[in-house]
Amino acid sequence: MFGWSAEKTEVLTELADGLVTLYPHGRITMAVDGGPGVPVGEFADDLATLLRYRGHTVFRAHLDDFHAPAQRRHLRGRYSAEGYLDFSFDESLLRRVLVEPFRLGGSTGFQLAGFDLARNQPYEARWVTAPEDAILIVDGSVLLLPSLRGLWHGSVWLDAPQNSDAAEAISLAPVSYAPVAVPEVSAGVRRNAEANTLYRERVLPGQTAQSAIDISDPAHPRRVLSDFC
């Protein structure tokens, strides 16, 4: 119906079923997390498409629209992996204008985007409202940090093993900043890869997320066991 493979349809259906079975009513939040170069946005869009087809009201947001200003992002240097994890995103803004008002329900307004990375300034406030029953799906690269983990009713970790084509593409993925010189792009890619390694070591996202998906082949994802006990 949507042009997806049988494997992708099955994975998305299982995720959708699990979410709405656990939370049949109210305002529900879902995080789709993954490393650099992994198509978290596309996967989250497809999940939203399926849920909307089933009659649910779904809102989409991206962690990249909640970056911190450059002065704060670069406190440890523009290409610091630890700085990326600790300072790249404005968690307070994410909570204050999106997740917390969304979860309040009622007529409370919320913003789906907070900060324009390319222009290094806040977006003009655009408040939206939702019905009593609604789902918010947020995609991003560090949504399972301990400071953010409690925001989500459901969570997914998308992974690509190191020997996969998708993993190789990570090293070639462009950074999401305004165009810069090639050496700076390479430095940004290295920073993202190092930050991803630190994130995996600190957070163990494959075990922390409620669901782990092998997305080595994005058209044919498969669920994997994330409990190594």
- pTM of the prediction? 0.89
Query: How do the domains of the chain map onto residue ranges?
Result: 9-221
Tell me how far apart the alpha carbons of residues 17 and 95 are, in angstroms, rounded to a whole number: 26
Across all residues in the chain, what is the average pLDDT? 89
pLDDT band per the 50, 70, 90 thresholds, residue 9: very high
User: What does the pLDDT look like over 27-77, one tens digit per residue?
Assistant: 999 999 998 889 999 999 999 999 999 999 999 999 999 999 999 999 999
Asked if the model's pLDDT at residue 169 lies above 50, the reply is: no
User: What does the pLDDT look like over 191-210, one tens digit per residue?
Assistant: 988 999 999 999 999 999 99
Q: Which CATH architecture has domain 9-221?
A: 3-Layer(aba) Sandwich (3.40)
**For residue 212, what is the enclosing H or E element?**
strand 211-214
CB 227 within 8 A of CB 15: no
Tell me how far apart the alpha carbons of residues 191 and 195 are, in angstroms, rounded to a whole number: 6
Percent of the chain clearing pLDDT 90 (strictly above): 77
Predicted pLDDT at 171: 40
Q: Averaged over 12-37, what is the pLDDT? A: 95
CB 113 within 8 A of CB 36: no
Predicted pLDDT at 187: 86
Asked if the model's pLDDT at residue 175 lies above 90, the reply is: no
pLDDT band per the 50, 70, 90 thresholds, residue 156: very high
Predicted pLDDT at 51: 98
Residue recorded with tokens 């782990």: 212
Predicted pLDDT at 162: 56
Q: Say which residues have a Cβ less than 8 Å from residue 228's Cβ, sequence separation at least 6.
A: 207
Q: Of 170, 137, 205, 19, nearest to 11 (Cα)?
A: 19
Least confident of 93-97, 129-133, 173-177: 173-177
pLDDT band per the 50, 70, 90 thresholds, residue 20: very high
Asked if the model's pLDDT at residue 229 lies above 60, the reply is: no
Predicted pLDDT at 35: 84
Predicted pLDDT at 167: 44
